[in-house]
Amino acid sequence: MAPRPIASSISPQTPLLGRHDTLARVALCPQHACCGESAASLVMWVSAPRSCSRSHLKHSAGAPMAGDILLTMEETTSPQPPISFAVEARDPGSAARAGTLTTPHGAVATPMFMPVGTQASVKALAPEDLHGLGAGIILSNTYHLLLRPGPELIAEFGGLHRFMGWDGPILTDSGGFQVFSLGHLRKLTDDGVTFHSHLDGQIITLTPERVIAIEELLGPDIILPLDECPPYPCDDATTQRATARTHRWAERAVAAKRRPDQALFGIPQGGMLAELRTWSAETIAALPFSGFSIGGLSVGEPKELMWPMVEASVAGLDALRPRHLLGVGSPEDLVEGVARGIDLFDCVLPTRTARNGGLYTADGRVSIRGARWRAEQGPVMPGCDCWTCSRFSAGYLHHLARAEELLYYRLGSIHNLRFLVRLMAEMRVAIGAGTFAAWRAAFTARYRPASAAKRTEQREKWLAKHGANPDRAT
């Protein structure tokens, strides 16, 4: 059985000795950080209490404070890596590949799209909905979970899986993108980033070590390190500094990691400079990461620029470890990303689009709010096997969306996510059959994506409404 995190609150009277087997992390900091010491260090603390070397920890390990959390795991002595990845088929005409990513909470057939459960919830959907539509893995957000309800509380529930009732694999991003979207509300140094919470103005500092500690409390299968995401547009000097800092933070994250049952992915950056992107990927690939999450793209740049940057990043990564492209999720982009060797994707776009009335079909995205759907008795997409289309008419969805009934958010999200999961499965089959090129051509000929002008208009409207609020990414 895969090890699962177990957490318990301890009082000042609770002895630490004998309360752990294989230590993952012990949170003793009243400022919500962790000491970062190993199990051997904790044993030494118990036998000879001493002050933690971390400057934020003012009490000794021999005298824990009320409310501190002892985080342990079920016994595990296996030297096996937390995940494994096997490429099972390759497309001869592109970089597309199909494989299997095996995690402590199950195997994931790749390529795969990850629904985003930013705050331990894929908006409007229950875990049963996610299983029903075929989601193999989901993504959650460290930044948001740090702010509420807090990683210590989630650890008390036994970790993120138990907290949200999801028994499949979970990947957490570091929250770096959300922090850097705060703009003037943050202060960046080589040590880390200090920012004001967008919820209550509280001053919070994140360092590479603290992010790892938080993610180890959360307990997902795959974790990401703190990185610096350069904005778009960005001058070359700023991009180079951000990329170099990301590399230094990556080294610190590797050194800080303690839990043996979690995989750490590295994040190559590089902005819109192709040579810098390849160098960043090579630098990150030289570190002992279990996989890669390509960052700093789909941040406002035109797609004609994004894809060469993806190719430059992939060129610096080895073929043995899984590749994840952060924040990309439109149907046409998934196809192009797979063709360039990407295995995993995530994005809030399909659920956010659904909540705003946009539903995917084989011919492109449609607005279910439009008058053309008012009397439509068939499904929004004939032949779709999702629960929404198999049970409800497009006319009913039109009514729900126009009336802003909550049920619509669930039904629309199920449809869009099932569309993407099924799309990934079709690509996997085509890669295995050696027909990916023909499949890709047929999809491109039929599917009509939104125009660049329309995407820009929608983005500007969204930014004008939500500004620097990181919740806009949910």
Average pLDDT over residues 230-240: 96
What is residue 466's predicted lDDT score, i.e. its pLDDT? Answer: 52
Same domain, 152 and 268: yes
| 446 in any annotated domain | no
DSSP label at 183? G
| 425 in any annotated domain | yes
| 79 in any annotated domain | no
| 430 in any annotated domain | yes
Distance separating alpha carbons of residues 201 and 222, to the nearest angstrom = 30
Distance separating alpha carbons of residues 473 and 53, to the nearest angstrom = 36
Same domain, 191 and 106: yes
Confidence grade of residue 2 (pLDDT, cut at 50, 70, 90): very low
pLDDT at 245 over 70: yes
Distance separating alpha carbons of residues 209 and 195, to the nearest angstrom = 16
Same domain, 186 and 42: no
Average pLDDT over residues 37-62: 29
pLDDT at 315 over 70: yes
pLDDT in tens, 373-384: 999 999 999 999
pLDDT at 23 over 70: no
Contacts of 200 (CB under 8 A, 6+ apart): none
pLDDT at 38 over 50: no
Structural domain of residue 385, as residue ranges?
Answer: 358-437
What is residue 459's predicted lDDT score, i.e. its pLDDT? Answer: 62
Distance separating alpha carbons of residues 448 and 365, to the nearest angstrom = 8
pLDDT in tens, 433-473: 999 999 999 999 999 998 777 666 766 665 566 554 454 45
What is residue 345's predicted lDDT score, i.e. its pLDDT? Answer: 98
Same domain, 310 and 396: no
Distance separating alpha carbons of residues 344 and 90, to the nearest angstrom = 15
Q: Strand, coil or helix: what is 443?
A: helix
Marked catalytic residue, from 68, 173, 261, 333: 173
Which residues is 265 bridged to in the sheet?
Answer: 291
Find the Cα–Cα–Cα–Cα dihedral 291, 215, 106, 123, rounded to 10°: -110
pLDDT at 29 over 90: no
Same domain, 365 and 308: no
pLDDT at 33 over 80: no
Same domain, 63 and 146: no
Average pLDDT over residues 307-324: 98
DSSP label at 64? P
What is residue 395's predicted lDDT score, i.e. its pLDDT? Answer: 98
* 144's tokens: 């948001």
For residue 149, the domain's CATH number is 3.20.20.105
Of all residues in the chain, the percent with pLDDT exceeding 70 is: 79
Average pLDDT over residues 394-417: 98
Same domain, 106 and 217: yes
pLDDT at 405 over 80: yes
- Whether 346 is a known active-site residue: answer yes
| 364 in any annotated domain | yes
| 447 in any annotated domain | no
Confidence grade of residue 176 (pLDDT, cut at 50, 70, 90): confident
Q: Strand, coil or helix: what is 167?
A: coil
What is residue 41's predicted lDDT score, i.e. its pLDDT? Answer: 28
Marked catalytic residue, from 91, 333, 343, 346: 346
pLDDT in tens, 96-133: 999 999 999 999 999 999 999 999 999 999 999 999 99
Same domain, 119 and 207: yes
Angle of helix 331-339 relative to helix 436-446, nearest 10 degrees?
150
Same domain, 94 and 155: yes
**Continuous H helices in 121-268:** 127-133, 142-147, 151-156, 160-164, 176-180, 208-218, 236-256
Domain boundary among 26, 45, 73: 73
pLDDT at 61 over 50: no
Same domain, 184 and 305: yes
Confidence grade of residue 184 (pLDDT, cut at 50, 70, 90): confident
Residue 80: is it exposed, middle or buried by C-beta count within 10 angstroms (0-12/13-18/19+)?
Answer: exposed
Return the CA Rg of the chain.
23
Contacts of 85 (CB under 8 A, 6+ apart): 99, 100, 101, 102, 291, 320, 321, 322, 343
| 449 in any annotated domain | no
Nearest to 4 by CA among 73, 106, 83, 81: 73
Average pLDDT over residues 404-415: 98
Output 181 or 242, whichever has higher pLDDT. Answer: 242
Same domain, 146 and 276: yes
Same domain, 194 and 69: no
What is residue 9's predicted lDDT score, i.e. its pLDDT? Answer: 31
Q: Which helix (H) or strand (E) holds 292?
A: strand 291-294
* 466's tokens: 């939500």
Q: Please state, rounded to an integer, the average pLDDT across all residues of the chain.
A: 84
Judge whether 90 and 96 are in contact, CB under 8 Å: yes
What is residue 11's predicted lDDT score, i.e. its pLDDT? Answer: 29
What is residue 211's predicted lDDT score, i.e. its pLDDT? Answer: 97
- Into how many domains does the chain fold? 3
Confidence grade of residue 196 (pLDDT, cut at 50, 70, 90): confident
Distance separating alpha carbons of residues 323 and 343, to the nearest angstrom = 5
pLDDT at 303 over 90: yes
| 445 in any annotated domain | no
CA of residue 236 relative to chain centroid, distance: 27
